[in-house]
Amino acid sequence: LLQPAVSVGNVGQLAIDLVISTLDMTKVGYFYTDCLVPMVGNNPYATAEENSVELSINAEVYSLPSKKLVVLQIRSPFIKNKYRPFCQTLLSWVKSSKCARVILLSSSHAYQRDDEQLLGTPLRYLLTPDLEKAVGGLMQELNWKEMEKVAAYPGINDTEKVLYVPGGGITKLLFTESCSKGIQMAVLLKFCSEGDNIPDAFALVNYLNEWLQLIKNEVNTSSQWKIPSSWRLLFGNGLPPALF
Amino acid sequence: MATFFGEVVVAPSRAGVDDEEEGREETPEDREIRRELEKKREIDILWTLKPGASAESSAEELLLCSKFIVAIGRNAAAFVSSFILDSVCWEVVGVVKLWNEWCRTSSTTNVLPTDSFCLFYRLISDPTVLLCQCSCYVAEDQQFQWLEKVFGCMQKEGLQVTILSTCPVADYKTQESTLTLPSPFLKALKTKEFKEQVCCPLLEQPNIVRDLPAA
């Protein structure tokens, strides 16, 4: 199961849009939930007149049987105090549907990085202990960097370290819950800031691709991902001619 | 995040989860406060189907309904008041009582156009046609409850629902400028099951609808 966390810059969600759009995944269902702000629109992955009139809502599930891939896309923020019930419901669905592993795409505030994190790659990963056993070696081969823990009481006591994902939304909660429930979960995240997060989404989805090999790794991988039609006009309308 | 003036501020994030919320465990007092708040924010639907008598929404009989028109927001409510409703053909059959930070509705059915209210009307000549006029703001956390309680009272087989709403033009995303848009500017969204002709063009991507109409 591949899914985003609603996080800074919405990078996880944008990356998921790229995956669904490029692999032309089929919608197989949706979550009827009171935990997310309601929204509805026409098919965000429309490519032609014929397929543009299917309704789309805030939490939908897509699948690609050939790659045994199921993707959940979340399109609106959590309602206050509802993110915990959502996480619980989600993880119990993961268990009951016998999903082998979960990959969470997320992001974290770039301004919270320490001096060392400012250098080198802005991409990080996390693995629950159950998944560490299975793919820990692969991460070493890919030369990936694990998300650093921070001091629980900075300045006072630097020995006790905790996981801290500022701006990551439900990332930390889902990860810690998965650890305790024995779920194989990986978190892939990028440090970023709010703004035009399209390049961040591309970076994150290419990072994911290094592992899952969803599309062929060509020299210029950015051009291999298909941008969905709903990404048009992200920064406003056309200008009124009377302005000039 | 550092601003140009050199001060460090916490940037609002689309993540939607405050970091303070995460660390804190709920104390019994917090839980009690939250429960009280939730009770205050509960929605009650009072039906006045039989003259003089009113029944709670937990009545077992489902309302037989073939067409349900919902007008959400002050503009849609005003449209429905001006062009559809009148005291000869329509009768009031129910009212929604709710409270949130933006508005409070009462259980009275005698309302002024400037009040916040949410009323249900029934067409006298065809009692299976219902109309809901909702001029109050239904908060995010109440939208699902409103939906479940209202539709929970109706028989859903063969039901056709029409939702009327308005959005600011400034929110409409289009290649051209919004100044050149025709007036009245109507767009629609419809489910697969809706087979009839729609009277206006469908809403194009990347535009979306949110809140109660979306729910």
ipTM for the predicted complex: 0.77
CATH of region A2-217, choose from 3.30.70.100, 3.40.50.300, 3.40.50.1400, 3.40.50.10900? 3.40.50.10900
A residues 212-241 near B, CB within 8 Å? Answer: 229-234, 236-241
Model confidence pLDDT, tens digit, residues B159-185: 888 888 888 877 888 877 777 777 778
Both tokens of B32, joined, read 């009690």
Domain boundaries in chain B? 41-48+62-164
Residue A1 has a pLDDT of 93
Residue A202 has a pLDDT of 92
Residue numbers in A near B176 (CB within 8 A): 237-238
* pLDDT, position A123: 92
Between CA A23 and CA A67 the distance in angstroms is: 10
Asked if the Cβ–Cβ distance from A78 to B17 is below 8 Å, we say yes
pLDDT band at B2 (very low <50, low <70, confident <90, very high): low
Mean per-residue pLDDT, B7-29: 58
- Best of A8, A13, A32, A34 to substitute, by most chain B Cβ atoms within 10 angstroms, is A34
Instruction: Please state the pTM of the whole predicted model.
Output: 0.84
Q: Counting Cβ atoms within 10 Å, is residue A189 exposed (0-12), middle (13-18) or buried (19+)?
A: buried
Order across the sheet with B44-47: list the strands: B55-56, B44-47, B90-97, B118-123, B129-134, B67-72, B160-164
Q: Confirm if A156 and A73 have CB atoms less than 8 A apart.
A: no
Half-sphere exposure of B25 (CA within 13 A, CB side): 2
Report pLDDT for B45: 86
* Cβ within 8 Å of A, B 40-99: none
Tell me which residue of A236, A238, A231 sits closest to A21, measured CA to CA: A231
Contacts of A232 in chain B (CB under 8 A): 173, 175, 205-206
pLDDT tens readout for residues B106-153: 777 777 777 888 889 999 898 889 999 988 888 888 888 888 888 888
Average pLDDT, chain B: 78
Percent of chain B whose pLDDT exceeds 70: 82
- pLDDT tens string, chain A, 244 residues long: the values are 999 999 988 999 999 999 999 999 999 999 999 899 888 888 889 888 777 788 888 999 999 999 899 999 999 888 888 888 999 999 999 999 888 999 999 999 988 888 888 888 999 999 999 888 888 888 888 888 898 888 877 777 777 888 888 888 899 999 999 999 989 999 999 999 888 889 999 999 999 998 988 887 666 555 688 898 888 877 777 777 777 7
CA distances from A38 to A83, A105, A186, B60, B134 (A): 14, 22, 28, 28, 17
CA A211 to chain centre: 15
pLDDT in tens, B53-80: 344 444 456 788 889 999 998 888 889 9
Q: Does A49 touch chain B (CB under 8 A)?
A: no
From chain A, pick out residues whose CB is under 8 angstroms from the CB of B206.
Answer: 41, 44, 229-234
What's the pLDDT score for residue B13? 53
SS3 call for B2: strand
Q: Which of B35, B214, B44, B41 is nearest to B139 (CA)?
A: B41
B210 beta partners: A39
Q: Which residues on A lie below 8 Å from B191 (Cβ)?
A: 55
Quick one: which of B68, B194, B85 has its CA closest to B127?
A: B68
